[in-house]
Amino acid sequence: MTQPDTASDLLIDPFQRRVNYLRLSVTDRCDFRCVYCMSEHMTFLPKVELLTLEELDRLCTAFIHMGVEKLRITGGEPLVRKGIMTFFEGMSRHLDSGALKELTLTTNGSQLARFAQPLYDAGVRRVNVSLDTLDNDKFADITRWGRLPQVLKGIEAAQNAGLRVKLNAVAVKGFNDGELFDLTQFCAERDMDLTFIEVMPMGEDIENAARLGQFWSLKDLRNDLAERFTLTDLSERSGGPARYVRVEETGQKIGFITPLSHNFCESCNRVRVTCTGEIYTCLGQEGKSDLRNALRADTNSNEPLNAAIRAAIGLKPKGHDFDYSRQDVAGRMTRHMSHTGG
């Protein structure tokens, strides 16, 4: 079993939080254009700037040797990257060794009908599918290019392949606040978990007023749920920022990711790496470090890469600055969510 040689090999940030969760973007490209994630007319990176699949493997392996136990693959839409299954198949060796505890995927679901079975065969057991509405027209509006029946077909294929599916819904006031119970029932009927996410102030073309108008506090959302259902707080954590409740009437689990109304930074155990090798140690801060140069500095040794990773972890901040108090969007990020990888 491949594990850190000693406790000193683990990634510990300046606030004594162990980093054991890596979210890796494998592409900035996507076949949707969700309004809270990217512009309609995106300029994507030249392919030469992206890490190769071999470099992505080497990068993840370095993190795993330093104690990362959970690896989530994101994008853009990760399943549109050519040859991506060779990467998943390569990561399966770390699952087999026991060093990697979980290999998961966040997807828009558009390609799941094609890839669900190969993903399961590679060791993936859970996928998160981003789905904000069950209305065809509204889905087309918020994704700009998306087709809801294609996503629903993908969800069905994932479940048939044995994958555990969780829906992620961004809570947007005036858009899907009328579908709270529809989404809850949809997941309950299919034995799927559901997580709501507060909309975050990210994207250079988003005006402050627009974000303020879209913000639907999950405190209010939970209160709406509690008017119809009995909610029991759960102590379990998935390794991410969500806090969970059990809906007693249906038995399902619902999560709340609240970067704005309830800061979760004190237990942050994750970092994000972009498809170009930039590491962001906080989603809500602009600070980043470059790993690509270190990765390519010496193809025969990981020493430069390991040093660069440790240096980046040493700069991890205590928390983000997202704040909607005083009716202004403080701590706003100019980069698009698709750039960081969710």
- 106 assigned ligand-binding residue: yes
Question: What are 302's two structure tokens?
Answer: 């990981």
Q: 144: annotated binding-site residue?
A: no
Region 56-73 average pLDDT:
98
Residue pair 33/39 in contact (Cβ under 8 Å)? The answer is: yes
CATH of residue 132's domain is 3.20.20.70
Instruction: Give the pTM.
Output: 0.86
129-133, 170-174, 280-284, range with the lowest pLDDT: 280-284
271 is in an annotated binding site: yes
> Exposed (0-12), middle (13-18) or buried (19+): which is 225, by Cβ within 10 Å?
buried
Percent of the chain with pLDDT over 70: 83
**Domain count of the fold of the chain:** 1
Q: Find out whether 1 is annotated in a ligand binding site.
A: no
Tokens representing 323?
């704040």
Within a domain: residue 105? yes
Work out the pLDDT band at 340, boundaries 50, 70, 90.
Answer: low
Domain housing 50: 7-340
User: Would you say residue 205 lies in a domain?
Assistant: yes
Instruction: State the average pLDDT for the chain.
Output: 87
Pair 110, 143: CB distance under 8 Å: no
Over range 14-28, report the average pLDDT.
Answer: 95
**Residue 2 in domain:** no
Task: Tell me whether residue 187 is annotated as binding.
Answer: no
> Is 130 part of any known ligand binding site?
yes
- Establish if 134 belongs to a structural domain: yes
- For the segment 299-314, the average pLDDT, to the nearest whole number, is 96
**45 confidence band (pLDDT: 50, 70, 90):** confident
| Residue 274 placed within a domain | yes
267 labelled as ligand-binding? Answer: no
Residue 1 lies in a domain: no
User: Phi and psi (nearest 5°) for 103?
Assistant: -120, 115
Identify whether 119 is part of a domain.
yes
- Is 46 part of a structural domain of the chain? yes
Which of the two residues, 146 and 6, has the higher pLDDT score? 146
Is 282 known as a binding-site position?
A: yes
Nearest to 202 by CA among 41, 316, 338: 338
To the nearest 10°, the Cα dihedral for 37, 47, 311, 270?
Answer: 40
- Band (pLDDT 50/70/90 cuts) for residue 238 is low
Is 292 marked within a binding site? no
pLDDT score at 325: 46
What is the dihedral angle through the alpha carbons of 207, 41, 77, 69, rounded to the nearest 10 degrees? -50
